[in-house]
Amino acid sequence: MTFFNQAIETMDRGDLDALIDDRVRYTIRYAVDHTRFYRKWFDEHGIDPRDIRSHEDLLGLPVISGAMIRKHQPPETPAYEFKSAPCPDIFTIHETSGTSGTPKAFFLTWDDWMRYAEKYARAFVSQGFGPGDRVAVCASYGMNVGANTMTLAAHRVGFTIIPEGKCTFPTRVIRNFRPTGIVGSVFKLLRLARRLEKDGIEPASSGVKRLIVGGESFAGESRAYLEERWGCEVFNTYGSTEGTMCGECTRRSGLHVPEDLVHIDLYDPALQQFVRDGECGRIILTTLLPEGETSGNILINYDTDDTTVVVSRETCACGRTHMKIGPPQREAETVWIHGSPVNRVDIEQGVFFRENMEYLTGEYEAFLYGGDTEGDVVMRVSVECEDPGTCDRRIVEENFLRSFLSGRDLLASAYADGTFAILFHVTRPGGLELHRVTGRPKRLVDRR
């Protein structure tokens, strides 16, 4: 199986754009007819919805934030004003994690679920999965949509799901069920590899042919190390409750966007303008509905708070014509130091410098503090060593600095003049603060 929906995935660019524009018009009509928020939104901004005829017209609309969704749901308002289907048509109700404030509520119809599953099914097939595969899903089956969506996608593609939910499952699952793929985070999969090795199972000989990392951004260096430990390819998949769902194909040269089901533009909030291809910007998401279908939560020009770049709109070597974006990063995981943006992935890149991994587990955390003088910044980087007694701390520190400061002239200059200090701390496995907190660990924390 090369494509899940070949007619759509390989559609000529002109025909694809025409299909997108058809769905933009239907989506706008649906939003106005079924959503209290959008009826008021268009009226308050003096916009005639009938003037929105193409995806280019979306660029002239205001951007909607997550805070705006929270403002238009309880307890701020009596009703969920973004809900766009009557209660009898709502199949499931979801909330985001709430890590950046009150959880945002999302309502999904069965049509929503089928479109979500279609997006993941396309990604799975583009990565080489098909009938006969067995995939262990190490993602939550709770209010998050990811694990359930993958399970529905597997049903449509025709492979088997092992719904573990967590990567702490017994190693007998690998021995007995021989999964050909595993979905999880970089760190969950590295921990699993170590557990397998302790139980006498070589990850590279376990039968796992592909790993899928979803739910968080990661450095190229951590991907390479994960591939080395498991002896197989690692694919990047990006998804959200809002319905992004993009995935790498076997070419691994960017994540394909299912453009017929979700429209993406990139926006620079500082300049308050959309950016050109190749420039970094926030992902602005618009739901696209096929004619006649329903949705419980329409989003138009929604700011996801994730950043990326458009890599290409040309036909991929895999045959797919849909645009590709770079690995998205969470804006919430970016801090500014002396005028330079630093993302958690930048820290990870330095930690996973290949020579460092002769000593480290890969687990890390970094904290920012103010220095003794106003304006000074101190970054404390803590890493886990397999054996702190034999860890060559000098090599680890030098490699990290070489990687982290490379190409960051402002930070390198601040480091050289002492206004930016980097302190290293080495701990035994399990010694990081993040192991003592519940929920998704924060690996880069600004305590200034």
**Please, which pLDDT band fits residue 98 given cuts at 50, 70 and 90?**
low
Q: What is the pLDDT of residue 216?
A: 80
**Please, which pLDDT band fits residue 100 given cuts at 50, 70 and 90?**
low
Overall number of domains in the chain: 2
Q: Are strands 273-274 and 334-337 parallel, antiparallel or unpaired?
A: unpaired
DSSP-assigned letter for residue 216: S
In this structure, the answer to whether residues 191 and 51 fall within a common structural domain is yes
Q: What is the CATH number of the domain that holds 343?
A: 3.30.300.30
3-state secondary structure of 393: helix
- Count of CB atoms situated within 10 Å of the CB of 230: 23
The residue written with tokens 């849909």 in the block is 322
In this structure, the answer to whether residues 389 and 284 fall within a common structural domain is no
Distance CA 403, CA 399 (A): 6
Burial-class residue 374 by CB neighbours within 10 Å (0-12, 13-18, 19+): exposed
User: Does the pLDDT value for residue 336 go beyond 70?
Assistant: yes
In this structure, the answer to whether residues 213 and 322 fall within a common structural domain is yes
In this structure, the answer to whether residues 277 and 347 fall within a common structural domain is no
Q: What is the mean pLDDT of the chain?
A: 95
Q: What is the pLDDT of residue 101?
A: 64
pLDDT digits (tens, 9 = 90+) for 270-328: 878 999 999 999 999 999 999 999 999 999 999 999 999 999 999 999 999 999 999 99
Q: What is the pLDDT of residue 217?
A: 87
In this structure, the answer to whether residues 80 and 205 fall within a common structural domain is yes
Domain boundary among 311, 327, 343: 327
Distance CA 8, CA 322 (A): 9
Q: Report the amino acid identity of residue 410.
A: L
In this structure, the answer to whether residues 2 and 40 fall within a common structural domain is yes
Domain boundary among 274, 301, 327: 327
Q: What is the pLDDT of residue 414?
A: 95
pLDDT digits (tens, 9 = 90+) for 369-397: 998 888 899 999 999 999 988 999 999 99
Q: Are strands 233-238 and 210-214 parallel, antiparallel or unpaired?
A: parallel
In this structure, the answer to whether residues 197 and 341 fall within a common structural domain is no
Q: In terms of residue numbers, what domain contains 276?
A: 1-327
Sequence-distant (6+) residues with CB within 8 A of 207 are 174, 178, 179, 180
C-beta separation of 415 from 343 below 8 A? no
In this structure, the answer to whether residues 249 and 338 fall within a common structural domain is no
Choice among 46-50, 229-233, 241-245 with the minimum mean pLDDT:
241-245
Q: What is the pLDDT of residue 214?
A: 82
**Please, which pLDDT band fits residue 130 given cuts at 50, 70 and 90?**
very high
Domain boundary among 279, 299, 327: 327
In this structure, the answer to whether residues 163 and 280 fall within a common structural domain is yes
Q: What is the CATH number of the domain that holds 154?
A: 3.40.50.12780
Distance CA 352, CA 235 (A): 18
Q: Which two tokens stand for residue 221?
A: 């260096």
Q: Is the peptide bond before 75 cis (omega within 30 degrees of 0)?
A: yes
In this structure, the answer to whether residues 318 and 436 fall within a common structural domain is no
In this structure, the answer to whether residues 245 and 97 fall within a common structural domain is yes
Average pLDDT over residues 400-427: 95
In this structure, the answer to whether residues 160 and 33 fall within a common structural domain is yes
